[in-house]
């Protein structure tokens, strides 16, 4: 068996591989089969809706160009926001993957190394049982911080400026700039930019500890005369 073609093909090639697959992949799959996998629509919770409405008020033109207007009637509007939220989350995840965000940001908080003190509750399996974790975004490297509890910590306009030019907010950051998520300026995110904002604000939105960074009120700053340099 040890030096024959069939022994190597069937035992080493197929049987050992199958044993590993059954014990290491099938076992967790069976263990979690009772935790239903949620769709993107199902993970659109109140916090995500709050962020969506915030985006609609902050960037009305961009929001309308991307997803149109919410119906006026209340029940239809609620339904529309869920549908739009799910669409944005799917698209945001695609951008998160396509831009390689997940190669510098993890999405799990470990029960060691003071991580729960830095970021919040330790990650648990049910958090990952949804369509947007297919494949799962655990990540393997942290150049930047973990993002699984990022949602709600910072405002949408903070994230927008940060995606546009990270060093404006965090001077030493090695994070690349993503101007193609915007129409030329940090306050004009395009559809892709808005989708990524929704996705980032979604992370951790299912937890009780989701922070409300602020309740958005229309700023009265626009009435203030800004010096030319600051207005840029």
- 132-171: contacts with another protein (CB under 8 A): 133-145, 167, 170
Q: Which is nearer to another protein, 45 or 173 (CB)?
A: 173
Residues 40-69 within binding reach of another protein (CB under 8 A): none
Told to check if 22 binds another protein by CB under 8 A, we report: no
Among 57, 76, 176, 209, the residue binding another protein under the rule CB under 8 A is 176
Query: Cβ closer to another protein: 111 or 227?
Result: 111
Q: Is 3 in the site for another protein (CB under 8 A)?
A: yes
| Residue numbers 82-121 binding another protein by CB under 8 A | 93-95, 97-104, 106, 108, 110-115, 117-118
- Least Cβ distance, residue 172 to another protein (angstroms): 5
Residue 36 C-beta: closest distance to another protein, Å: 10
Q: Contact 91/202 with Cβ under 8 angstroms?
A: no
What tokens appear for 153 in the block?
């910590």
3-class state of residue 189 by DSSP: strand
Gap between the Cα atoms of 125 and 81, Å rounded: 27
Cβ–Cβ < 8 Å for 169, 162: yes
- The C-alpha atoms of residue 84 and residue 81 are separated, in whole angstroms, by 5
Taking the least distance from each CB to another protein, the nearer of 64 and 110 is 110
**d(Cα 134, Cα 209) in Å, to the nearest integer?**
24
| Minimum CB–partner distance for residue 151 and another protein (Å) | 17
For another protein, how many residues bind (rule: CB under 8 A)?
Answer: 77
Is the link from the previous residue into 135 a cis peptide, with omega within 30 of 0?
A: yes
Which residues, 6+ apart, have CB-to-CB distance to 102 below 8 Å?
Answer: 96, 137, 139
């Amino acid at each position: 068996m040890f030096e024959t073609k069939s022994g190597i093909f069937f035992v080493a090639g197929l049987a050992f591989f199958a044993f590993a697959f059954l014990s290491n992949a099938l076992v967790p799959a069976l263990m979690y089969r009772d935790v239903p996998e949620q769709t993107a629509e199902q993970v659109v919770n109140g916090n995500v809706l709050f962020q969506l409405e915030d985006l609609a008020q902050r960037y009305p033109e961009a929001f309308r160009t991307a997803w149109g207007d919410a119906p006026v009637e209340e029940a239809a509007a609620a339904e529309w926001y869920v549908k739009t939220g799910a669409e944005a989350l799917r698209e945001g995840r695609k951008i998160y993957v396509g831009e390689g965000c997940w190669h510098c940001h993890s999405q799990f908080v470990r029960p060691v190394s003071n991580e729960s003190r830095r970021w919040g509750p330790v990650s648990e399996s049910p958090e990952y049982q949804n369509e947007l974790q297919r494949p799962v975004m655990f990540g393997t490297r942290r150049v930047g911080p973990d993002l699984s509890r990022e949602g709600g910590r910072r405002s949408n306009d903070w994230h927008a400026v940060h995606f546009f030019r990270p060093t404006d907010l965090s001077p030493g950051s090695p994070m690349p700039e993503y101007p193609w998520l915007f129409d030329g300026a940090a306050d004009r995110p395009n559809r892709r930019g808005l989708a990524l904002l929704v996705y980032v604000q979604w992370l951790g939105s299912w937890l009780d500890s989701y922070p409300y960074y602020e309740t958005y009120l229309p700023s009265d700053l626009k009435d203030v005369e800004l010096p030319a340099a600051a207005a840029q």
